[in-house]
């Protein structure tokens, strides 16, 4: 894939944040879109804005990816009698924040489902046809926390570490096939994610990236054939810290930085 112009791209979690920004940037580059999220009203509004601004085709599929059969339903809906999906952006994800064991178990399980099982399932569905065609791409949105111990976001950090390892491993498997797989690892970004996870109320002061900047640079990196992109120089430096410091020290620092107020 040498250009996004004319491709058909699927973006999950496209109703806000990085997913919405990636969708808009893909459209700016001439890609036709399939957007999926749970909010029909929001998705239809975003789709209308993108069509008007960029003149590309935008299809909306309202779907709760937490449902067991959702990945297969999405694949079927995007495959039957239509042009193939050339790019999958596995962006949908949620986070939890707090002392492990005090967070509701159903929230943790839902997070593992959405952050781990769903992107793995969608990759398993969309990858083989891409390999057969000899072209395509998958971007899995992980996090800088994939590289670090993540006190108070223990299960979330673990889910993103899985996604990073999974992405790099499958990327190695398909090397030479014409299909590219990249893990995108953003840091704190100006989205609804932190508010939904409860970080904005309890966590430390954080400098946030703009999602449009993350999207633009990530899409450039994917087009260049990168298997990993960490957004922002500071975030890249953060990911390198465990290489030069004892893991116990890294965990201690992260605990101090991430500790909720009042704990």
- Burial string for 179-190 (b: 16+ CB within 10 Å, else e) reads bbbbbbbbbbbb
CB 32 within 8 A of CB 55: no
The C-alpha atoms of residue 74 and residue 29 are separated, in whole angstroms, by 24
Q: Which of 75, 126, 152, 156 is catalytic?
A: 156
Structure-token match 């998705």, residue found: 43
Q: Is 156 a catalytic residue?
A: yes
Cα distance between residue 203 and residue 221, in whole Å:
31
Measured in degrees and rounded to the nearest 5, phi and psi for residue 113 equal -60, -50
Please name the residue ranges forming H helices in the chain: 17-28, 40-54, 70-79, 105-112, 118-133, 154-173, 193-197, 199-202, 211-223, 233-244, 247-258
72 Cβ partners below 8 Å, 6+ apart?
A: 121, 125
Catalytic residues: 156
């Amino acid at each position: 894939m040498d250009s996004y112009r004319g491709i058909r791209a699927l973006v999950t979690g496209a109703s806000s944040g990085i997913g919405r920004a990636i969708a808009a940037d893909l459209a700016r580059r001439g890609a036709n879109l399939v957007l999926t999220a749970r909010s029909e009203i929001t998705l239809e509004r975003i789709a209308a804005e993108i069509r008007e601004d960029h003149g590309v085709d935008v299809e909306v599929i309202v779907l709760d990816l937490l449902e067991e059969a959702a990945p297969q339903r999405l694949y079927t809906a995007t495959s039957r009698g239509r042009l193939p999906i050339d790019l999958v952006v596995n962006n949908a994800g949620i986070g939890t924040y707090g002392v492990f064991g005090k967070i509701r178990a159903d929230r943790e399980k839902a997070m593992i489902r959405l952050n781990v099982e769903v992107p793995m399932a969608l990759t398993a569905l969309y990858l083989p046809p891409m390999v057969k065609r000899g072209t395509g791409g998958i971007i899995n949105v992980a996090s800088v926390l994939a590289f670090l111990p993540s006190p108070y976001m223990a299960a979330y950090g673990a889910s993103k570490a899985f996604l990073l390892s999974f992405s790099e491993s499958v990327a190695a498997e398909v090397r030479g096939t014409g299909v590219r797989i990249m893990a995108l690892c953003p840091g704190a970004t100006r989205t609804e994610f932190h508010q939904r996870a409860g970080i904005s109320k309890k966590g430390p002061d954080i400098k946030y990236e703009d999602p449009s900047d993350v999207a633009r640079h990530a899409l450039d990196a994917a087009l260049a054939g990168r298997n990993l992109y960490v957004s922002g120089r500071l975030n890249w430096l953060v990911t390198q810290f465990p290489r030069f410091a004892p893991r116990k020290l890294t965990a201690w620092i992260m605990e101090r930085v991430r500790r909720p107020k009042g704990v």
